[in-house]
C-alpha cells in the first residue's frame, strides 16, 4: 500500500481535484483519477470521489493506492433471495472497503450488482476464504445481526496448522485482548473477553495438521490466536507465528496467506424462519495443501 500526501496551495484553490493531485503528487493524472474513482482519496475522514470537486487552500489530501485488490477474483454467489445474499469470499478480498478502495471488497462488489442497501452483518479476515452472508434489507440486517450476537449462528472452519495440539480434539478457552502490535490479539489470563473454540484434528502429516474449528464466540482473529497459543499456528500466518513454508516429506509446502477457510455457515433465514446451511468449496491453495497432507 502506498500513501501520498498533498497540501493544497493558495494558487490551487478552486481548481479541479484530479488536476491538483496530478500536479502536486508526482502521480499521473490517470492514476489520480483512478484513485478518486476507487475511493482512495481522503480529506480527513471523508472520501472524495468527484473528479471535478473544487479544492480549497490548506486542504491536506491523502492518496492511498493499492494495486493488489484490482486483480482479485470476484465472490461466487451461493444463494440469493429478497432478504439475503450468501457468497463464497475468495482469499485476499476484504469484506468491506479499505483506505485504498471502497469498490474492491465483497460489500462494494455486492452493492454495485444488487443495490446500495446491501450491508454486511459479519466479517471474514482479508486472508480468510469461505461463506459470507450479507443482508439486502435493513430488517434482514437486524435479524441476521441478532443471531450473530446471540451466538445462534453455527460456524465451521477448516484450518491448516503447524506442529501440534495438546489433544486430537477439545475446546480452547483462552480470553483475548489486544496485543502490542496494532490489529493483533493475544490470549490473556486476566481481563480481555471470553472466547471459546471447539476443535478436532481431521488429518495429520507432520508437521501439518488439518483442523476443524467451530468457534462458540465470534472474536476478531479468534481461531488464529487460539490455535497459535495452543501450539499450532496456521501455515502462512506470520502475524501469529505461523511459517510461510514447511518441508512435508520430500517436498516444500508454502502458503501466502493464513490457511483458514469458513467452510459452512448455518443460521435461521430472516423471513421464512427456516434453518439453512451454506457451504463454500475450499480455494485451490488450501485444497492443494490439504491434499498433500492426506497423501
Task: Select which of 12, 102, 125, 237 is catalytic.
Answer: 125
Spell out the SS3 assignment of the chain. Answer: CEEEEEECCHHHCCCEHHHHHHHHHCCCHHHHHHHHHHCCEEECCEECCCCCCECCCCCEEEEEECHHHHHCCCCEEEEECCCEEEEEECCCCCCCCCCCCCCCCHHHHHHHHHCCCCEECCCCCCCCEEEEEEECCHHHHHHHHHHHHHCCCEEEEEEEEECCCCCCEEEECCEEEECCCCCCEEEECCCCECCCEEEEEEEEECCEEEEEEEECCCCCCHHHHHHHHHCCCECCCHHHCCCCEEEECCEEEECCCCCEEEEEEEEECCCCCCEEEEECCCCHHHHHHHHHHHC
285 tagged catalytic: no
Hey, which residues are catalytic here? 125
Amino acid at each position: 500500500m502506498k500513501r501520498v500526501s498533498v497540501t493544497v496551495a493558495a494558487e490551487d484553490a478552486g481548481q479541479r481535484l484530479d488536476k491538483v493531485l496530478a500536479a502536486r503528487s508526482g502521480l499521473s493524472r490517470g492514476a489520480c483519477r483512478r484513485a478518486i474513482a476507487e475511493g482512495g482519496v481522503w480529506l480527513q475522514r471523508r472520501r472524495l470521489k468527484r473528479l471535478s470537486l473544487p479544492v480549497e487552500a490548506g486542504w491536506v489530501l491523502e492518496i492511498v493506492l493499492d494495486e493488489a485488490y484490482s486483480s482479485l477474483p470476484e465472490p461466487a454467489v451461493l444463494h440469493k433471495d429478497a432478504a439475503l445474499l450468501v457468497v463464497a469470499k475468495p482469499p485476499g478480498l476484504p469484506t468491506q472497503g479499505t483506505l485504498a478502495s471502497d469498490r474492491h471488497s465483497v460489500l462494494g462488489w455486492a452493492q454495485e450488482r444488487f443495490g446500495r442497501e446491501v450491508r454486511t452483518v459479519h466479517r471474514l479476515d482479508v486472508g480468510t476464504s469461505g461463506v459470507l452472508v450479507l443482508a439486502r434489507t435493513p430488517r434482514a440486517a437486524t435479524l441476521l445481526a441478532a443471531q450473530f450476537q446471540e451466538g445462534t449462528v453455527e460456524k465451521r472452519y477448516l484450518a491448516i496448522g503447524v506442529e501440534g495440539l495438546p489433544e486430537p480434539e477439545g475446546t480452547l478457552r483462552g480470553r483475548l485482548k489486544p496485543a502490542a502490535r496494532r490489529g493483533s490479539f493475544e490470549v490473556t489470563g486476566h481481563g480481555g473477553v471470553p472466547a471459546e473454540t471447539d476443535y478436532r484434528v481431521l488429518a495429520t502429516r507432520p508437521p501439518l495438521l488439518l483442523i476443524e474449528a467451530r468457534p462458540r464466540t465470534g472474536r476478531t482473529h479468534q481461531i488464529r490466536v487460539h490455535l497459535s497459543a495452543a501450539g499450532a499456528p496456521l501455515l502462512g500466518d506470520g502475524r501469529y507465528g505461523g511459517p510461510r513454508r514447511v518441508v512435508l516429506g520430500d517436498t516444500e509446502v508454502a502458503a501466502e496467506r493464513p490457511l483458514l477457510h469458513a467452510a459452512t455457515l448455518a443460521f435461521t433465514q430472516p423471513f421464512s424462519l427456516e434453518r439453512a446451511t451454506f457451504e463454500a468449496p475450499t480455494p485451490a491453495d488450501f485444497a492443494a495443501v490439504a491434499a498433500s497432507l492426506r497423501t
